[in-house]
């Protein structure tokens, strides 16, 4: 936090825009997602109602900058259909669902894995769940934060989530959503600057911890 300051994540104006961004950012740089979101905004499709009103072929065209349109467009439509059928189109009603049950339901949707489900829960719906991504995996691996059994080189998603939960276990329950939010955003910031596929440790605010870990 001292190095980067508050991140003000997720970069969106509405909860539904957060959800669309969570789908679109899969395997895609955020700059491409911004172009897709702007296309949707100009088409009046940044609401569930607006998105339902456009044909699937047009949705594919609007989100083309984000890539993987044959997978992402139907997945987004499936979410909107579920929202309408099970929650009357209300994100507030959806957010009122207990976390474990809602996470399980999200994971049943096409195109939703652990990271996307948790991003929707945390950033769009305000549930106190940590979000883990490749940046956190690289940081945890390089700093030796998770002990891997012999023969396994990759840290699992649940291990990264548990690592974050344990880090904030002493904090009040009502503050954890904001803490998880800021922690993930800062992880992305340091990951982009220093912990990509190649480590760039000079100037990294975590460099001292790395030396201690090694």
Secondary structure in 3-state letters for 66-130: HCCHHHHHHHHHHHHHHHHHHHCCCHHHHHCCCHHHHHHHHHCCCCCCHHHHHHHHHHHCCCCCC
Q: How far apart are CA 149 and CA 119, in angstroms?
A: 28
- The whole-number pLDDT of residue 84 equals 97
- The whole-number pLDDT of residue 114 equals 97
Q: Could you tell me where in the chain the CATH 1.10.340.30 domains are found?
A: 15-124
- The whole-number pLDDT of residue 10 equals 87
- The whole-number pLDDT of residue 211 equals 54
- The whole-number pLDDT of residue 1 equals 53
Yes or no: say if 143 and 213 are a contact pair by the CB < 8 Å rule.
Answer: yes
- The whole-number pLDDT of residue 8 equals 80
Under-50 pLDDT residues of the chain: none
Q: pTM value?
A: 0.93
Yes or no: say if 198 and 184 are a contact pair by the CB < 8 Å rule.
Answer: no
- The whole-number pLDDT of residue 194 equals 93
Give the pair of three-digit tokens for residue 202: 């000079």
CATH superfamily of 15-124: Hypothetical protein; domain 2 (1.10.340.30)
- The whole-number pLDDT of residue 208 equals 84
């Amino acid at each position: 936090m001292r190095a980067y300051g508050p991140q003000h994540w997720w970069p969106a104006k509405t909860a539904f825009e957060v959800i669309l961004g969570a789908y679109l950012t899969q395997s895609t740089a955020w700059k491409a997602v911004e172009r897709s979101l702007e296309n949707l905004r100009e088409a009046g499709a940044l609401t569930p109602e607006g998105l339902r009103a456009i044909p699937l072929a047009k949705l594919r065209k609007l989100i083309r900058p984000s890539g993987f349109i044959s997978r992402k467009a139907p997945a987004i439509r499936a979410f909107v259909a579920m929202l309408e059928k099970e929650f009357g189109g209300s994100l507030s009603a959806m957010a009122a669902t207990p976390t474990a049950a809602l996470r399980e339901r999200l994971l049943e949707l096409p195109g939703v894995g652990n990271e996307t489900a948790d991003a929707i829960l945390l950033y769009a719906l305000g549930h106190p769940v940590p979000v883990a991504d490749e940046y956190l995996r690289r940081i945890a691996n390089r700093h030796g934060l998770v002990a891997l059994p012999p023969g396994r080189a990759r840290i699992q998603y649940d291990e990264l989530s548990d690592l974050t939960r344990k880090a904030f276990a002493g904090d009040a329950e009502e503050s954890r959503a904001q803490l998880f939010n800021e922690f993930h955003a800062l992880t992305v910031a340091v990951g982009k600057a220093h912990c990509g596929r190649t480590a760039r440790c000079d100037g990294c605010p975590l460099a001292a911890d790395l030396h201690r870990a090694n």
